[in-house]
Amino acid sequence: MRVEQEKGKTVAIVEKERTTACGSCPSSSICGVPKKLELHIECPNGMSIQAMDELEVEIPQTPVTRLAFLTYGIPTILFIISLFLTSEIFQLSDIQSLLWSLLPLSLGFLALRGIDRTMRGKFRPKILKKVGS
């Protein structure tokens, strides 16, 4: 990976070309996956980088299934439970149950927004060191 640009000496825009995975793929010309992956990475304090410096970058392993469950599963489960409670336990009409069930669904998404803000830095790529200088 190479630093292509800098913004205020704190954020480097790093580009990585996808050559191995896309090179042998027959549908690479019509695929929607970009040929270049662009990462915006904060530079550590005390490290000075210039355009075209070669860097070693760590990209954390993210358990995609866990993140997908948090994003889609939790609000859906909240919606289904509240739909069941409002229609079967509280004996509301279908429309009323649906409208009341939108409240826990919205609260689930708001809670996820708060979780995202607290955990955002945990999954970001980090510059470890310069290579070859």
> Is this model's pTM higher than 0.75 or not?
no
Mapped onto helix, strand or coil, the DSSP state of residue 88 is: helix
Please name the amino acid found at residue 130: K
Q: Which pLDDT band holds residue 2 (cuts at 50, 70, 90)?
A: low
Q: What is the pLDDT of residues 37-73, one digit of tens each?
A: 777 787 887 787 887 888 888 878 877 788 888 889 9
Spatial separation of the C-alpha atoms in residues 1 and 14, rounded to whole Å = 6
Name the strands in the sheet holding 2-7, side by side, starting at the edge strand that comes first in the sequence. 2-7, 11-17, 36-42
